[in-house]
Amino acid sequence: MSSLTMASNETENLLEQNCRPDWPEWTCMFANICGLASTTLWFLVLLPQVWKNFRRKSVRGLSVLWATANFTASLTNLFFVQLYAKVPLYNRINSIYMPILEFTILVQFWIYGDHYNLTNRQVYLAACLLLWAAIIIMQLVLKWYDHLQWFAISLWCIETFPQVILNMKLQSTKGQSTVSVLIAMIGKTTDFLSNNILIVPLQFVVMIYFSSSVAYVNGIQVFMELCCNADQSTDSRAPLTIKTAGLNNKTLTSLS
């Protein structure tokens, strides 16, 4: 068999994973393309946020609970995907890559989180280490892959809530990367399509309904702030008309 034929067969197999037998073939290919698109987006999604934190040397405006829930869920999912579930290739790739990137965010919280009390940071770190150690032990020793995945799903369903609440409290989304939020919204959309068209574990289907909904709420927050800032910028550049004694009206333009 020629290398071109083998490559063609591999591509076809990649786009024909987890198909529903009673659905048209094109729906399976479309869903797998969506899944591969999601994989690409998840490779990129946190990079703008990591860069923004590094550039600002700060994590102010970001919720540490959001970052912790993200990593904890991904750590749990890693064992489920690699040792238990039958899922498409893109899910396996994501399950390895995402915990690394999400742990990077947590490291940034430790380095740049000087607005947190040091004692509180140390206690929080100890609690997280105990939790993660317990998860690893339960996965490798007790092999609770299926049961613990519901824990991961629960975390993913609520992961963005702390960030949404913090944004409401601060009345700002300045801590978040707009690019990261936009990528997340697109990724949740492609994830929603792939998980509902293909045959995947029930946990994935339940998770995507909740997590995508909260992601859209977060996206609306960021979009509203962008619109508000744009309006304020327009107002600050509007001509100002003043009257001076014995003179005609003069128009001054703000330079702000």
CB 213 within 8 A of CB 160: no
Phi/psi for 241 (5° steps) reads -105, 125
Domain membership of residue 14 (yes or no) is: no
Domain membership of residue 43 (yes or no) is: yes
**DSSP tally for the chain: helices H, then strands E:** 10, 2
| Confidence band of 202 (pLDDT split at 50, 70, 90) | confident
CB 99 within 8 A of CB 74: yes
CB 157 within 8 A of CB 211: yes
Q: Give the pLDDT confidence score for residue 237 in this predicted structure.
A: 61
Q: Which residue has the tokens 């304020």?
A: 232
Tell me which residue range forms the domain holding 39. 24-253
The Cβ-side half-sphere exposure at 2, using a 13 Å CA radius, reads 3
Domain membership of residue 6 (yes or no) is: no
Domain membership of residue 153 (yes or no) is: yes
**Mind listing the pLDDT tens digit for each residue in 162-191?**
999 999 999 999 999 999 999 999 999 999
Domain membership of residue 4 (yes or no) is: no
**Mind listing the pLDDT tens digit for each residue in 1-33?**
443 333 444 445 778 888 888 898 889 999 999
Domain membership of residue 16 (yes or no) is: no
| Confidence band of 92 (pLDDT split at 50, 70, 90) | confident
**Mind listing the pLDDT tens digit for each residue in 34-72?**
988 988 898 899 999 999 999 999 999 999 999 999 999
Domain membership of residue 61 (yes or no) is: yes
pTM of the model: 0.78
Specify burial of residue 82 (Cβ count, 10 A radius: 0-12, 13-18, 19+).
middle
Domain count, the chain: 1
Domain membership of residue 135 (yes or no) is: yes
